[in-house]
């Protein structure tokens, strides 16, 4: 997601811009708490392929949460992290150094609005998480990606399937249904707007396209859930707070308070519900597709 083209860009909301460090914190918390979907998605990529990839591209790598998992799950592959933020690229480099895969990492500074980065070469797997819908001309980018992908390559396009939820239907403060109203407001404001990529992928030339919903709904809240909920709702307050009715703004302020007994910091009933949509696309089975 990126403020532009970074991984997990999904957390951006309309309103005031968020400092890069705050975005990075949200991205990393999102990955830490909802990250089970990463391995589920990579499992589907592996199942779709006949052999290990030599080159894996994270298109819009952001802070590198997914890049790290891709590196771990494809241990013989060169990992290419593409992003337009030097700050985030530095974080990916640090992650690789910490986890011991620096020798396999290549970083490419590029803006998706400029088209497919030629420095990426011919990848076997391209991972594009919440980045494609920010391209000025995604249809062109998909055509270019199709032309550059290996003949047996796999493109994975991921999007957020709705905002994360943390609270019970009756949040214990004010009128029940606060999160339903937040989701409705975000939907009406165009939050995380993206197409169903099935048709654009097919029109770009991909002959095999599948769409899968991956749910993340653990029975108990993963570590970091409360911290993520606080960051998420603080970000929402900055972005759409002025659009909330006074009663819901009061609920939000109480949820974010350190003193209220039902605040996000203190309540024991938080439960994560999140999801991702995954499109897997591969060239036609007929063989070579390059133009």
For residue 18, pLDDT over 50 is answered with no
Q: Which residues contact 204 (CB under 8 A, 6 or more apart)?
A: 139, 142, 143, 145, 146
For residue 278, pLDDT over 80 is answered with yes
Question: Quick one: pLDDT at residue 289?
Answer: 57
Task: Report all structural domains of the chain as residue ranges with CATH numbers, in order of start.
Answer: 9-166+192-221+273-282 (3.40.50.150)
Question: Quick one: pLDDT at residue 1?
Answer: 37
For residue 80, pLDDT over 70 is answered with yes
Separation of alpha carbons 83 and 85, rounded Å:
6
Question: Quick one: pLDDT at residue 19?
Answer: 57
Question: Quick one: pLDDT at residue 41?
Answer: 96
Q: In which band, very low, low, confident or very high, does the pLDDT at 274 lie, cut at 50, 70 and 90?
A: very high
Q: Which residues contact 57 (CB under 8 A, 6 or more apart)?
A: 80, 82, 120, 123, 125, 126, 127
Tens-digit pLDDT profile for residues 39-67: 999 999 999 999 999 999 999 998 899 99
For residue 21, pLDDT over 80 is answered with no
Identify the bridge partners of residue 209 per DSSP, sorted by sequence position.
281
36 CB burial (10 A radius; 0-12, 13-18, 19+): middle
- The predicted model gives 56-80 an average pLDDT of 95
Over pLDDT 90: what percentage of the chain?
Answer: 69
Pick from 235, 268, 32: nearest CA to 166: 268
Separation of alpha carbons 218 and 195, rounded Å:
27
- The predicted model gives 209-228 an average pLDDT of 94
Tens-digit pLDDT profile for residues 153-209: 999 999 989 899 999 999 999 999 999 999 999 988 877 778 899 999 999 999 999
The answer to whether 134 touches 5, Cβ cutoff 8 Å, is yes
Count Cβ neighbours within 10 Å for each residue of 153-174 and write b for 16 or more, e otherwise: bbbbbbbbbbbbbbbeeebbbb
Question: Quick one: pLDDT at residue 15?
Answer: 34
Give 235's Cβ-side CA count (13 Å radius): 28
Over pLDDT 70: what percentage of the chain?
Answer: 90
Q: Which residues contact 124 (CB under 8 A, 6 or more apart)?
A: 49, 53, 54, 55, 56, 77, 149, 150, 152, 153, 154
- Residues in the chain, how many? 291
Separation of alpha carbons 181 and 173, rounded Å:
14
Triad 37, 188, 170: Cα angle to 5°: 70
Phi, psi of 106 (to 5 degrees): -125, 130
DSSP string of 15-77? SS---HHHHHHHHHHHHHHHTHHHHHHHHHHHHH-SS--SEEEEET-TTSHHHHHHHHHSTTS
Separation of alpha carbons 83 and 99, rounded Å:
20
Q: Average model confidence (pLDDT) for the chain?
A: 88
């Amino acid at each position: 997601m990126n403020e532009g083209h970074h991984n997990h860009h999904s957390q951006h909301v309309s309103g005031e811009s968020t400092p890069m460090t705050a975005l990075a914190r949200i991205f990393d918390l999102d990955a830490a708490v909802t990250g089970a979907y990463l391995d589920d998605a990579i499992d589907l990529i592996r199942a779709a392929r006949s052999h290990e990839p030599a080159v894996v591209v994270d298109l819009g790598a952001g802070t590198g949460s997914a890049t790290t998992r891709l590196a771990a799950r494809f241990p013989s592959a060169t990992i290419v992290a593409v992003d337009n933020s030097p700050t985030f690229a530095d974080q990916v480099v640090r992650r690789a150094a910490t986890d011991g895969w620096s020798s396999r990492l290549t970083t490419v500074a590029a803006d998706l609005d400029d088209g497919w980065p030629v420095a990426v070469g011919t990848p076997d797997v391209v991972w594009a998480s919440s980045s494609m819908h920010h391209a000025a001309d995604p249809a062109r980018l998909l055509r270019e990606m199709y032309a550059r992908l290996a003949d047996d390559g796999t493109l994975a396009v991921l999007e957020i399937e709705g905002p994360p939820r943390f609270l019970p239907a009756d949040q214990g403060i004010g009128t029940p249904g606060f999160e339903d109203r937040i989701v409705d407001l975000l939907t009406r404001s165009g939050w995380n707007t993206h197409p169903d990529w099935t048709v654009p992928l097919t029109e770009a030339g991909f002959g095999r396209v599948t769409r899968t919903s991956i749910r993340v709904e653990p029975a108990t809240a993963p570590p970091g859930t409360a911290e993520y909920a606080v960051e998420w709702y603080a970000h929402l307050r900055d972005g759409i707070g002025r659009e909330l009715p006074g009663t819901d703004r009061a609920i939000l302020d109480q949820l974010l308070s350190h003193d209220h007994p039902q605040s996000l910091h203190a309540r024991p009933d938080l439960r994560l519900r999140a999801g991702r949509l995954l499109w897997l696309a591969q060239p036609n089975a007929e063989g070579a597709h390059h133009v």
